[in-house]
Amino acid sequence: MRKGLLSLLLLLVSLLGSLALEDLERKAFVFPVASNTAHVVLKAKIQHPLTSVTLCLRLYTDLTREHSLFSYASKRHSNELLLVAQKPNQYKFHLGSEELIFKVPETLSTNHFGKHVCVSWESSTGLVELWVNGQPLVRKSLAKGHSIQPEASIVLGQDQDNFGGGFDINQSFMGEISDVYMWDRVLDPDEVVLAWYDQALPDYLINWRLLNYTIKGYAVVKPALLSVHTAG
């Protein structure tokens, strides 16, 4: 009887814990092994189709193969919004069936294993910006006039080949990811630099300091090894 009550209490505590939004400042999700299971699901309150967006995150990895950084699938398209590192200094940004490749000059990535990456897109002009360690690459164009579906399955650590699943170990992330933020607007250049320093900026869709997330499989929350003080 007592034991039953205790487990009920524990269940309630863990339910409450899992419902709370968490401040992950100075922490990171660690993915210690390659797998086709370990991932983190992020919940964002996206009420309407997105016609502009900025995504920023910090990563620390020694992978040289392709690895997924941020996978936002919709029922319409598994690559509704996807950021992949094809190799250490080459990123691929997908919006639905369209994609763009950015090759980062070696001079922009002074910290070999750790990087802060931001990508932004605006439907009205189709312009895409990719920033590495607070520095911009040359702007490109993708999916002008398009909009991003709001009903999303957002995953860190794996690339979704269908809504919420279809993971491939050869595209999995290994290492740590932190400071994940998403906004429903294009950040100004000054703001991207602030994001690099992990300063608060308004209009979040995903906020690392108030994160709604669920860990699935072998991923761990730990103090970040790579922080704003050591990155880049």
Ligand X SMILES: *[C@@H]1O[C@H](CO)[C@@H](O)[C@H](O)[C@H]1NC(C)=O
Structure tokens at 31: 């993915």
Binding-site residue total for ligand X (CB under 6 A)? 7
CB of 98 to ligand X, least distance (A): 24
Strands 135-136 and 67-73: unpaired
Bridge partners, residue 131, by sequence:
118, 136
* Shorter beta-carbon distance to ligand X: residue 134 or 166: 166
The CA distance from 185 to 143, in Å, is 16
Site for ligand X in 9-28 (CB under 6 A): 19, 21
**In the complex, minimum distance from the CB of residue 170 to ligand X, in angstroms, rounded to a whole number:** 4
Q: Which two tokens stand for residue 145?
A: 């006039």
Q: What is the DSSP letter of 169?
A: G
Return phi, psi of residue 131, to 5°.
Answer: -120, 135
6 contacts ligand X (rule: CB under 6 A): no
Select 136 or 150, whichever has its Cβ closest to ligand X. Answer: 150
- In the list 9, 101, 169, 200, the residue contacting ligand X (rule: CB under 6 A) is 169
d(CA 156, CA 88) in angstroms, rounded, equals: 17
Residue nearest to ligand X (CB): 43
Please tell me whether residue 151 binds ligand X under the rule CB under 6 A: no
The answer to whether residue 43 forms part of the interface with ligand X (CB under 6 A) is: yes
